[in-house]
Amino acid sequence: MPRSAPRAQPAAKTRRTSTAAEPSGTVSALERGIAVLRCFREDLRVLSNAELAAMTGIPKPTVTRLAATLVSLGLMKQEPDTERFSLAAGVVSLAQAFLGGVDARSIARPHMLALANETEGSVYLAIRDELHIVLIETASPQSALLLARLRVGSRFSVASSALGRAYLSAMTDQYEKDRLLQNIRKACGEAEWARLEKGLERSQRDARLHGYCLSLGEFHRDINSVSVPLVVPGGEIMALNCGGPAFSFTEKRLRNEVAPRLIDTAQAIARDTGGKVPLPDKLFKVS
């Protein structure tokens, strides 16, 4: 397979895969292949060999071999004209198998729709994937005009999003939480971390005192939102979010109006799934 010519790097932040010794019990080649697949996002659908190498930190000759293997398995495809790569249909069946097994989605959706119509905001249910939050269900009000219409599969930073911050607030293993924060800091870089750190600290304080986390223009400068964690049976942490344009979803409105409704909605989902919503003792509500 001919190697594609080097191209300009994507504007989005890159994520590098460590070349250090692999952890005991893992397969390095598999880890590298999955690292290549993880490079593709909604805003990065087509990537060259050079771009994949830069984003993963894997040498270009190795990326070429990994890409050839993934193409042969139907997980990636190569454009005949540019020789750049994109995901292939083989990943769809994997995604469908995962989403089909998340029972909380179908249970949560009617509750999410009710909240979206009541607040006229976008409502999202998400889980974590490494340093990102991935949407697994969405709901928008019928009157939605200016809301960000993110889709199932959309992913964004744990550090800047209310969803990610709510996820962090529900982590009970302090070692794992500290390690995640260290990895986020390393991936962000010191300048970006300095911008996000204050908001992260505020969100964790809000979670301890009020049971929710905010993102005020940090995920997107024109979007404010509030999130709460939801722990489903088996201990998996999810996060539920409601928000919209900053001019409508002001901090005051999020705290006084939207957050209480969001907590009620999360508790309704928890009741129907057999899960729980981590809340400060003083806010705990009996379902």
Does the pLDDT of residue 9 top 60, yes or no?
A: no
Residue 212's pLDDT is 95
Q: Cα separation of 42 and 154, whole Å? A: 7
pLDDT at 105: 83
Confidence of residue 37 (pLDDT cuts 50, 70, 90): confident
Question: Would you state the pLDDT for residue 281?
Answer: 67
> Percent of the chain beyond pLDDT 70?
83
CA dihedral 131, 135, 136, 141 (to 10 degrees): 160
* pLDDT attached to residue 283: 54
Residue 145, pLDDT above cutoff 80: no
Residue 24 has what pLDDT? 55
Mean pLDDT over 174-196 rounds to 88
Mean pLDDT of 271-282: 82
pTM: 0.66
Q: What is residue 21's predicted lDDT score, i.e. its pLDDT?
A: 45
Written as six digits, the tokens of 253 are 């409105």
- Find the angle CA(36)-CA(185)-CA(226) to the nearest 5 degrees: 95
Which region among 20-24, 56-60, 66-70, 222-226 has the lowest average model confidence (pLDDT)? Answer: 20-24
Identity of the highest mean pLDDT range in 15-19, 36-40, 77-81, 235-239: 235-239
- Residue range 212-218: average pLDDT? 89
pLDDT in the model for residue 99 = 59
Residue 10 has pLDDT above 60, yes or no: no
Mean pLDDT over residues 191-203, rounded?
87
Is the predicted pLDDT of residue 3 greater than 70, yes or no?
no
pLDDT at 119 over 90: yes
Predicted local confidence at residue 14, as pLDDT: 41
For residue 137, what pLDDT band results from cuts at 50, 70 and 90? Answer: very high
The model's confidence at residue 16, banded by pLDDT at 50, 70 and 90, is very low
pLDDT value at position 23? 53
pLDDT number for residue 268: 93
